């Protein structure tokens, strides 16, 4: 199924779905979450690459012309940091259509409550899963 996401949603859902990888879940639910994570991760990698390019463009350069990094952070003037952040915010607001996103039936979530076979889901984890619930 094709579904529209903002790139901000892609980044957030990728991070949150990755946290669910080690949970013991019903096999169909785990498969759907894993598949959705794989699709979202590919898109999140592109977003990260663009973020890195933006940071390198706005960062001060060292004597060899490479971006200056201080304590693991790109070294930028305050003005350039604001410009970089504004551009990145624009990127995150961009929408994209992703194909292959699986919808999750409510019955898959209900199965988690069936006994002690599966890990309990927190409200935050359920919120993430609800992004993919079938109508």
Domain boundaries, the chain: 3-130
pLDDT at 125: 95
pLDDT at 69: 96
**Distance, CA of 7 to CA of 100 (rounded, Å):** 17
- Tens-of-pLDDT digits for all 135 residues of the chain? 899 999 999 999 999 999 999 999 999 999 999 999 999 999 999 999 999 999 999 999 999 999 999 999 999 999 999 999 999 999 999 999 999 999 999 988 888 887 688 999 999 999 999 999 987
pTM: 0.90
pLDDT at 118: 92
């Amino acid at each position: 199924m094709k579904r529209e996401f903002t790139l901000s949603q892609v980044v957030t859902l990728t991070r949150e779905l990755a946290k669910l990888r080690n949970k013991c879940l019903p096999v169909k639910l785990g498969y759907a979450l894993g598949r959705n994570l794989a699709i979202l991760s590919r898109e999140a990698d592109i977003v990260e690459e663009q973020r890195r390019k933006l940071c390198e463009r706005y960062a001060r350069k060292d004597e060899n012309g490479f971006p200056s990094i201080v304590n693991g952070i790109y070294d930028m003037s305050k003005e350039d940091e604001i410009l970089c952040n504004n551009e990145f915010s624009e990127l995150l607001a961009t929408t994209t259509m992703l194909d292959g996103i699986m919808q999750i039936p409510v019955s898959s979530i209900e199965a988690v409550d069936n006994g002690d076979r599966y890990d309990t889901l927190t409200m935050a984890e359920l919120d993430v899963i609800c992004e993919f619930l079938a109508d």
